[in-house]
């Protein structure tokens, strides 16, 4: 089964290094000639528990890098990398030495470890750094260069991020939203307060009917589309009758609006139908018809399934 993350590789190598040190110690105890280990593996540790220590994991990372450099770098590649000023440190690991030696940065940042691009190790390093918070390309590159120097890093980081499932959920939308049109004129032109309003219901409220029983009522928010003033009322239920009572109280207190904008709720659509029928019956009387001729209410609905375009009463 292939190993897919840097942490698992580091743990496996750390346990292998521990095994090598234990076996070498036992062999040296029974033989006259000692088994010589490299400097990284010669370090003596007390294994008091089965869990790995931070020091062992750090040594495992160095062993991984050193093995990578021994297997991937040849004289021809080294000749093409002369501009990086590669030199071995005390552990025999190639590092890039620049002009930041006297800075206050960490030694791993001043002289980052060299890792060849488009290799399995560089892939694991990039995926490991990106998995910690799923940062952007530039942020991921900055985190990597605190410890490693990988040539042509940006293209490889971009490739990893494009294959990241978690990032695709945020970066790759199913389709591009169209450009937003201009706001309706009733929202941007000067008018009296509550001349153009939007209304909606919000979450039910629990009320006490008697000392032992409770019930629910629904809040209704009516907002002016120009001044953003808010009028709050309570509907006893979701019936059209209760909604008409809310409108009557609003008309008596704030005046009759020029237009009302709402969603396509059956309560609102039926309320508009009842008001229209009432106006149609009243128009038969010439006196009343003249009185309400300038009080016609224009009822508008937001586009179905397109919330946010004309919606102005959304309650989170």
Give the DSSP letter of residue 148: E
Question: For residue 210, what pLDDT is reported?
Answer: 81
Q: Would you say domain 185-301 falls under CATH 3.30.420.10?
A: yes
Strand partners, 95: 87, 113
Cα 86 to Cα 77: distance, rounded to the nearest angstrom: 12
Q: Which class is 6-171 in CATH? A: mainly alpha
Which helix H or strand E contains 142, and what residues bound it?
Answer: helix 137-144
Question: For residue 230, what pLDDT is reported?
Answer: 93
Closest to 263 measured CA to CA, from 314, 226, 188, 208: 314
- Domain 6-171 and domain 185-301, same fold? Reply is no
**250 within 8 A of 236, measured Cβ to Cβ:** no
Question: Left if phi > 0, otherwise alpha if psi is -120 to 50, otherwise beta: which for 202?
Answer: beta
Entry pTM = 0.54
Report residues of the chain scoring pLDDT below 50: 279, 281-285, 287-294, 315-316
Question: For residue 48, what pLDDT is reported?
Answer: 61
Which helix H or strand E contains 278, and what residues bound it?
Answer: helix 266-282
Q: What distance lies between CA 141 and its chain's CA centroid?
A: 19
Where are the chain's structural domains? Answer: 6-171, 185-301
Q: What is the pLDDT of residues 23-64, one digit of tens each?
A: 877 887 787 777 777 766 665 565 666 778 888 888 888 889
Q: What is the pLDDT of residues 147-176, one digit of tens each?
A: 999 999 999 999 999 999 888 888 777 777
């Amino acid at each position: 089964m292939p190993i897919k993350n840097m942490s698992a590789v580091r743990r496996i190598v750390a346990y292998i290094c521990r095994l090598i040190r234990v076996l070498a110690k036992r062999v040296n105890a029974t033989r006259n000639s000692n088994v010589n280990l490299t400097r990284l593996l010669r370090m003596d540790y007390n294994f008091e528990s089965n869990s790995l220590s931070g020091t062992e994991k750090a040594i495992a990372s160095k062993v991984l890098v050193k093995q990578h450099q021994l297997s991937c770098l040849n004289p021809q590649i080294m000749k093409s990398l002369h501009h990086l000023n590669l030199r071995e440190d005390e552990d025999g690991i190639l590092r890039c030495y620049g002009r930041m030696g006297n800075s206050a940065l960490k030694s791993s940042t001043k002289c980052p470890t060299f890792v060849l691009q488009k290799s399995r190790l560089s892939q694991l390093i990039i995926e490991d750094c990106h998995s910690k918070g799923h940062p952007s390309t530039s942020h991921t590159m900055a985190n990597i260069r605190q410890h490693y120097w990988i040539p042509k890093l940006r293209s490889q980081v971009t490739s990893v991020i494009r294959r990241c499932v978690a990032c695709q959920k945020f970066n790759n939308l199913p389709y591009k939203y169209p450009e937003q049109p201009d706001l309706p004129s009733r929202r941007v032109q000067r008018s009296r307060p509550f001349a153009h309003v939007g209304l909606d219901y919000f979450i039910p409220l629990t009320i006490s009917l008697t000392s032992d029983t409770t019930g629910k009522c629904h809040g209704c928010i009516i907002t002016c589309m120009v001044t953003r003033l808010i009028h709050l009322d309570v509907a006893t239920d979701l019936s059209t009758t209760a909604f008409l009572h809310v409108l009557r109280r609003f008309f008596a207190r704030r005046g009759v609006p020029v237009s009302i904008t709402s969603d396509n709720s059956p309560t609102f659509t039926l309320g508009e139908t009842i008001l229209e029928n009432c106006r149609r019956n009243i128009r038969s009387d010439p006196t009343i018809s003249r009185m309400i001729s300038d009080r016609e209410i224009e009822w508008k609905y937001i586009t179905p399934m397109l919330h946010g375009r004309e919606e102005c009463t959304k309650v989170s």
